Amino acid sequence: MPLPRYEDRYVKVGGRNVRYWVEGEGPAVVLVHGLACSAEFWQYTVAPLSEGHRVYALDLLGFGRSDKAIGEFSLPYGASFLADFIDAVGVERATLVGNSLGGVICAQFAVQFPERLERLILVGSAGFGRELQFFLRLWSVPILGSMTFSLYQRAFPVVKRLVFYDSSSIDREWVSAAAAMVRMPGAKESSLRIVRLGVDMTGQRDELVRDLHLQLAHMTAPTLVIWGSHDPVVPVSHAYAAEELIPNSKVRIMDRCGHTPQVERPQEFNELVLDFLSEPHSGG
């Protein structure tokens, strides 16, 4: 699949510069990337969704080309940042699509700002179980974590197999663009800071998401949970844990796929998302 190109735009959110892409007209869809990632992880998603929607893909504070000062990070902080971002681009209500860290931030948005959420799509989302990839858990360890992350930055084209099921299928041009974002000054510090708030060597800390899990039981927005069957970062069992917690949710498992199905199997991923967006929904 040819690598789509989008214009970099910037908007002030809380006095900080946030980079984003926007395409299309219609109901708003906001795409939220994961830890140590960027808008590039939605490069194959923006254009297909924009045929009937106004689609935004942003770099979270601390990542990509956005400013690196993230403040005192927490899930409520992340959700408030998203609310401020959609304010800044003139959106009142949106469907949120979040991958990995972006997924748990979007879930927090769903309970913190329910009146602003149309639908929720979680993609290999963090936040639904303790088990995490060993490599990611290493990032929580002082000194060793910094050394490990530096290795990840330098060797991203090689270690991408830590994320994908079949890394040989990933376009080299995309890998080069994503690697450049991973290596941006400040990305390591932002990533390690966030990891160490919610992860230790045993996995995800329960206290990070305890309140969120309680509140998700009251969600009313339609929710789609998409997972790669061979996700090496967050086990596929977490998809069913999310379905158990969230009313009005359903799971779709993408076979022979890893942690970022929107990159590894974009056509199938986009079809799942578009089918879900086209389903009748009374709002709320």
Architecture of 9-130+206-278 per CATH? 3-Layer(aba) Sandwich (3.40)
Q: pLDDT tens digits, residue range 198-238?
A: 888 888 888 888 899 999 999 999 999 999 999 988 999 99
To the nearest whole number, what is the mean pLDDT of the chain? 92
Q: pLDDT tens digits, residue range 178-200?
A: 999 999 999 999 998 888 888 88
**3-state secondary structure labels for all residues of the chain:** CCCCCCCCEEEEECCEEEEEEEECCCCEEEEECCCCCCHHHHCCCHHHHCCCCEEEEECCCCCCCCCCCCCCCCHHHHHHHHHHHHHHCCCCCEEEEEECHHHHHHHHHHHHCHHHEEEEEEECCCCCCCCCCHHHHHCCCCCHHHHHHHHHHHCHHHHHHHCCCCHHHCCHHHHHHHHHHHCCCCHHHHHHHHHHHHEECCEECHHHHHHHHHHHCCCCCCEEEEEECCCCCCCCHHHHHHHHHCCCEEEEEECCCCCCHHHHCHHHHHHHHHHHHHCCCCCC
Contact 153, 146 (CB under 8 A): no
Q: pLDDT tens digits, residue range 24-35?
A: 999 999 999 999
CA distance 57 to 66: 12
- Per-domain residue ranges for the chain? 9-130+206-278
**Which residues have a Cβ under 8 Å from the Cβ of 242 and sit 6 or more positions away?**
122, 125, 127, 128, 225, 249, 251
pTM of the model: 0.95
Residue-level pLDDT at 166: 86
